[in-house]
Chains A and B, each alone.
Chain A
Amino acid sequence: MTAPFLGDALGPRGRRQTRILTVISAVVILGLVVVALMRLADKGQLDEAKWEPFTQWPVQRFFLEGIRTTVEVSLVSMVGAMALATFLALARLARTGALRWATTLFVEFFRGLPLVLLIFFCALGLPAYGVRLSVFWYVAIGLIVYNGCVLGEIFRAGILSLDRGQTEAAYSLGMGYWQAMFLVIIPQAARRMIPAIVSQLVTLLKDSSLGAAVAFEEALRRARINGEFFQNPLQSLFVVAVLYIVVNFALSMLARRLEVRQRRRYKAGAIVVPGAGMDLALMGAQGESAEIADDDTAT
């Protein structure tokens, strides 16, 4: 058990102390877990009656349909957000000044707002102005506008991260602006952006749970309903939390692996955009040095 600490191997005394502390901390942590379980048992939360509903197919179906709705709204929003992001990124890089300014304003405005404010505006405000859609679309519109702006910045950073020589080479081959963009720049930039996009998908999937606040029957809302019905809010929320964690953990792992692979292949850091939500701030921070993240932030 010679765990190096901060890259330095411990000496004999350090190792002894580590062993002692390992035993003590393991006992303390186990003790805390036992206390928590006893508390749960004490309050009757481990009773079979509280958990039994989850063995019934109607309840399982209720939850699975909730997850399906969550995944549906996330995928629809992700596709919509990527389309919007492509437009915004290209517009922000356009040679027309007015277009550039208008998009910059649009992006900075919506990126600076809480997503929940947008979703509330869509769900409460849009019907008042005669836009009558299903609540699915109110949530989706909020997610699309917000994530479109965030992804737009990622796309822009990705495009800008390419070496100028690529554009110049394309032009010298006689390609026009759009040809160079779609045949040379975007295919290369897209590869670099994959980890950032997957990580944004995790954020989006988590954020779709905000729909529960505006009566959208996705996974979280259904867990609440189930909890009220069977009088087991703790168990219902536990189940839905586990479902979210499993999906998000898998996607996060994927993003991390893609990023490591990319780092090896291109010797370049992840595309990091300031204020793109905490997950992205993190992705940049996971590199060996904080400098990589800083460099990219500057672009």
Chain B
Amino acid sequence: MDVITENLDVFAEGMRRTVELSVLSFILAFALGVVLAGLRVSPVPPLRWASATFVELVRNTPLLVLMFIVVFAFPSIGFTWSYFLSAVIVLAAYTATFVGETVRSGINSVSKGQVEAARALGLTFPQVLRLVVMPQALRTVVGPLGGIFIALLKNSGVAVAINVNELTSAAAFLGTETAQFIPAFLGAAAAYLMLTIPSGFATNWLEQKVAIKR
């Protein structure tokens, strides 16, 4: 167990990187996901199709394939980004598809009367969506979105395959360095649980706080 106590700084560094990856990607994913959901319910067919195509393509491709595409294939068309930035972009795009589908289900759960009332007041499509439907839809999907964030925290580990020094890579490094794999990986496991469990609690708290009480 000395491996853990003597290398707390390595784990802390890994955790910091994992949090950075996850939080940055989640912010981007949330923004993109809401846009994808909005496009998906728009009355304009090409926008609906574009959104659906993006979601199906990205969601059905393994995360590591997407990372390899950005890291190894994009340079040949002139886009070269750092490993960290590539990981953020991929995690954001991948997660956005799940955010988008979840938000869409939230939109569908908003009652028709709300839309009709808003339309009767003369609001246009973007206004109805932004002012009436989205605020209600987002509240109902706080729980699922929290689940997506936790999944993202775990998915960020895949970045180890493209040399991002996050938690999984910290465990692999320490394990190889000290030849004591069980303590090294248990340390990383504990660190992941220290991130996911509070996220779960935070989600529950937020869910109750924003719940629509009728």
The chain A residues found within 8 Å of chain B, CB to CB, are 1, 3-8, 10, 14, 18, 21-22, 25-26, 29, 39-40, 43, 45, 109, 112-117, 120-121, 124-125, 128-129, 202, 206-207, 209-210, 212-213, 220, 223-224, 227, 233-234, 237-238, 240-241, 244-245, 248-249, 252, 274-275, 277-278, 281-282, 284-291, 293-294, 297
Chain B residues with Cβ below 8 Å from A278 are 95, 98, 147-148, 151
Verify B168–A233 contact, CB threshold 8 A: no
Verify B41–A5 contact, CB threshold 8 A: yes
Quote the shortest CB–CB distance from A234 to chain B (angstroms). Answer: 4
Segment among B1-9, B80-88, B108-116 that sits at the interface with chain A: B108-116
User: A7-B112, A8-B115 in contact; A22/B46 too (CB < 8 A)?
Assistant: yes
Quote the shortest CB–CB distance from A274 to chain B (angstroms). Answer: 6
User: A129-B181, A210-B158 in contact; A227/B72 too (CB < 8 A)?
Assistant: yes
DSSP majority for the A interface?
helix
Chain A residues with Cβ below 8 Å from B69 are 234, 237-238, 241
Verify B60–A252 contact, CB threshold 8 A: yes
Chain B residues with Cβ below 8 Å from A120 are 160, 168, 171-172, 185
Q: Contact partner of A293 among B45, B115, B144, B200, CB < 8 A?
A: B144
Considering the complex, give the chain B residue whose CB is closest to the CB of A40.
Answer: B77
Interface residues of B in 108-163 (CB under 8 A from A): 108-110, 112, 115-116, 119, 125, 128, 133, 140-141, 143-144, 147-148, 150-151, 153-158, 160-161
User: A6-B112, A206-B62 in contact; A117/B125 too (CB < 8 A)?
Assistant: no
Verify A241–B65 contact, CB threshold 8 A: yes
Considering the complex, give the chain B residue whose CB is closest to the CB of A227.
Answer: B72
Verify A282–B189 contact, CB threshold 8 A: no
Chain A residues with Cβ below 8 Å from B144 are 281, 284-285, 290, 293
Verify A39–B77 contact, CB threshold 8 A: yes
Verify B133–A6 contact, CB threshold 8 A: yes
Q: How far is the CA of A28 from the CA of B158 in the complex (A)?
A: 34
Verify A114–B168 contact, CB threshold 8 A: yes
Verify B63–A206 contact, CB threshold 8 A: yes
Residue from B151, B155, B167 having most chain A Cβ neighbours under 10 A: B151
Chain B residues with Cβ below 8 Å from A285 are 101-102, 104-105, 141, 144
Verify B151–A277 contact, CB threshold 8 A: yes
Verify B73–A1 contact, CB threshold 8 A: no
